[in-house]
Amino acid sequence: MKNTSKYEKYRPKKFLGQNFLTDVNISKKIISFLEIEEGDTVLEIGPGHGALTKLLLNYDINLTAIEIDKFAFEELSLNLEGKVKIIHQDFLKTKLSDFYNGKKIKVIGNIPYNITSQILFKLFENYKIISKAVLMMQKEVAHRLKSVPNTKEYGILSVFTNLYSSPKIVYNVPPGAFFPKPKVDSSVVSMDFKDDIVVLKNPELFREVVRTSFNQRRKTLRNSLRKLFDEKNIDVNAIKFDLSKRPEMLNIIEFTELTDEIFSGLRIDN
């Protein structure tokens, strides 16, 4: 029998990872975690049919919703004309600094689960102008953000999330709160972005070291970073850091120390 749900007209697109939030009470709860203050600049990622957007209109804020789906964009523009600024654009290609007016931005969204990592790294790149983000994501990914060294969930996202923010899993959402129902459980994560992060002498090298290390997480750092050392002409014997460790054993400070040593080797060679 054909589904006659009022949300069917939005035709969720699998390739965009669309699962529209339909529970109003949960929508209200998600917004409460953003801790909105009068005059805040708020960016909503992927408003869809406007479950969060319509409630956000009750606040005295500068709200912009960024939607990649043309149909959803047109529907929202028609229904909320003159009430909110809606941009038809890929969030990953959006210049967030355009929305910064001196007061840090707050970000909210029921984000597509298939591009969660890309969205997070987009936010991390702009950490200086973001104060807080409240995001719905796959429960499994949410637990990775909170994981600590020496656990199987600990990885690239764990390191970078805790480098730039203080994450908290604030609410778990059942599949029945969405249309269509996702095949996974969901969690809402609140991330308070840090004013001061660990000082990185070379942020790009830090990202490369962390990612390269975890790409072969079961190997020791000596082996997982071997190609990087060769490409950058680094004398492994000159590295004092204990390379017999595996990446999952290192905390943020230790990854920083390792990167700084590699960076010093690069400076000497050049």
pLDDT tens figures, 117-170: 999 999 999 999 999 999 999 999 999 999 999 999 999 999 999 999 999 999
Q: Which CATH superfamily is domain 203-269 in?
A: rRNA adenine dimethylase, C-terminal domain (1.10.8.100)
Cα–Cα distance, 16 to 236 (Å, whole number): 44
Residues 172, 5 contacting (CB under 8 angstroms): no
Given a cut of 70, is residue 4 above it in pLDDT? no
CATH-assigned architecture of domain 8-193: 3-Layer(aba) Sandwich (3.40)
Phi, psi of 35 (to 5 degrees): 50, 60
Of 1-10, 34-43, 198-207, 233-242, which gets the smallest average pLDDT?
1-10
Please tell me the predicted confidence (pLDDT) of residue 78.
93
Position 229 scores a pLDDT of: 93
**N-terminal to C-terminal alpha carbon distance within the chain:** 69
**How far apart (Å, rounded) are the C-alpha atoms in residues 184 and 163?**
27
Q: Which residues contact 217 (CB under 8 A, 6 or more apart)?
A: 155, 224, 246, 247, 248
- Given this chain, do its domains 8-193 and 203-269 carry the same CATH topology? no
> Virtual CA dihedral for 44, 45, 46, 47, nearest 10 degrees?
-10
Residue 51 exposed, middle or buried by CB count within 10 Å (0-12, 13-18, 19+): buried
pTM: 0.89
Percent of the chain with pLDDT over 90: 76
pLDDT score recorded for residue 266: 72
DSSP class of residue 109?
E
The per-residue pLDDT for range 184-237, each reduced to its tens digit, is 889 999 999 999 888 888 999 999 999 999 999 999 999 999 999 999 998 888
Query: Average pLDDT in the 15-22 region?
Result: 61
Residue 212's pLDDT is 97
DSSP 194-248: -SS----S-HHHHHHHHHHHHHTTTS-HHHHTHHHHHHTT--GGG--S-TTS-GG
Q: Is the pLDDT of residue 55 over 80?
A: yes
> Does the structure show a pLDDT above 70 at 13?
no
For residue 18, what pLDDT is reported? 53
Domain boundary assignment for the chain: 8-193, 203-269
Model confidence at 65: pLDDT above 90: yes
- What pLDDT score does 228 carry? 94
Which two tokens mark 35? 């801790």
* Other CB atoms within 10 A of residue 221 CB: 25
Q: Which of 62-71, 93-102, 175-184 has the lowest mean pLDDT?
A: 175-184
Q: Would you state the pLDDT for residue 237?
A: 87
Statement: residue 16 has pLDDT above 90: no
- pLDDT attached to residue 153: 95
